[in-house]
Amino acid sequence: MGMWASLDALWEMPAEKRIFGAVLLFSWTVYLWETFLAQRQRRIYKTTTHVPPELGQIMDSETFEKSRLYQLDKSTFSFWSGLYSETEGTLILLFGGIPYLWRLSGRFCGYAGFGPEYEITQSLVFLLLATLFSALTGLPWSLYNTFVIEEKHGFNQQTLGFFMKDAIKKFVVTQCILLPVSSLLLYIIKIGGDYFFIYAWLFTLVVSLVLVTIYADYIAPLFDKFTPLPEGKLKEEIEVMAKSIDFPLTKVYVVEGSKRSSHSNAYFYGFFKNKRIVLFDTLLEEYSVLNKDIQEDSGMEPRNEEEGNSEEIKAKVKMNSFLCFFLFAVLIGRKELFAAFGFYDSQPTLIGLLIIFQFIFSPYNEVLSFCLTVLSRRFEFQADAFAKKLGKAKDLYSALIKLNKDNLGFPVSDWLFSMWHYSHPPLLERLQALKTMKQH
């Protein structure tokens, strides 16, 4: 009877209290689930102290131990930074941090002569203050990760001065993009009428296409030096490979990643008939012999999780954004959503976007994220199978091992942790899939 009485009491609470409680409950549920998964993987790091028999020909004991200790340190850091992030978010909600920041933004606007009717201006001040707060609270964690963990394990190449200059530059560039785009989006929502969600979706679609198009030529060079790959055998072989499979390669760049980290990577990006490959200079330095094979494989399949996603995943995300804007249009008129987060007298559009997209949609976003992770792994296996078809199974097999060793990737994974988190299949699974074709 006691349990049912508690449930009855919960449902008798005002709608805004139920919404707020549900948001906090789900947030901590996800955090505890993520922590449970992380502890499963951490147990693997702690107990797997010797190279497993199936890895005997792949990784030596010294590299295996370095990788294990590196991942243990990263796991410890992830636990504490995650706990801090969840606690900070909870305290912000409990103590009314969002409405306070909105009122503070209004006061700043008032000092400049802008009244409450200038909602978009107040929204931009709110965004500026919110991102500044996020940057400042995240700075100590970023410093520790770079100058303690990455430094300890031999990856960090940055000086403190370079790091701070880079952080300031990132913040300024972010504001230069975020504020104009947000103001236009809010304006479209304001004047769009009953079908504003269609116009808002189209606007965000156009913005994303423009940003991807101009990123390499105008944004990325602000942070890293991009140079065309010099003429020579490597470039020639990449172009021959691209032409043989009708890959519309237009340019091959080398990015100066070594001034930040000794980690190596490669990725491609672009739309339609304008594809470009980017190679990290650390990759070229490390693989003087295997250069050609690694670049052939890396160029034809995504290696960068952020920029190398398949076109099918991108299409699904675009349709998802349309659905989200449609549901936003349905929910934006519900005053109890605003009241749940401390907005009793006003319903600012930006706050509505924040509440609905970040909090109300969080269960849906978790499910979608998992589905896209599964889909990404499937595409990675397809990419590996394509390499097999080209007769490159042996080369890819060697390249994956080299990349894993030099980046100190730990080759043993907990099945549940990898299923939930890994957008790329674990190394052993990829090698096993390639093994059957390696001899051919």
Known catalytic residue: 305? no
Q: CA dist 301 to 36, 268, 295, 381, 385, Å?
A: 32, 8, 10, 10, 11
* Catalytic-labelled residue, pool 119, 150, 380, 384: 384
* Whole-number Å distance between alpha carbons of 72 and 48: 11
Per DSSP bridges, beta strands 249-255 and 226-228 are: antiparallel
Token pair for 139: 């700075």
CA angle 37–42–48, rounded 5-degree value: 130
* Catalytic-labelled residue, pool 301, 380, 395, 414: 301
* Whole-number Å distance between alpha carbons of 242 and 246: 6
Check if the beta carbon of residue 161 is closer than 8 Å to that of residue 169.
Answer: no
Amino acid identity at 120 = I
CA angle 272–255–175, rounded 5-degree value: 80
Q: CA dist 326 to 43, 313, 335, Å?
A: 43, 20, 18
Check if the beta carbon of residue 216 is closer than 8 Å to that of residue 226.
Answer: yes
Coil, helix or strand at residue 34: helix
Per DSSP bridges, beta strands 274-280 and 249-255 are: parallel
Torsion sign, CA atoms 176, 177, 181, 182:
negative
Amino acid identity at 95 = F
Known catalytic residue: 306? no
| Cα dihedral 285/286/289/293 (nearest 10) | -100
Q: Catalytic amino acids? A: 301, 384
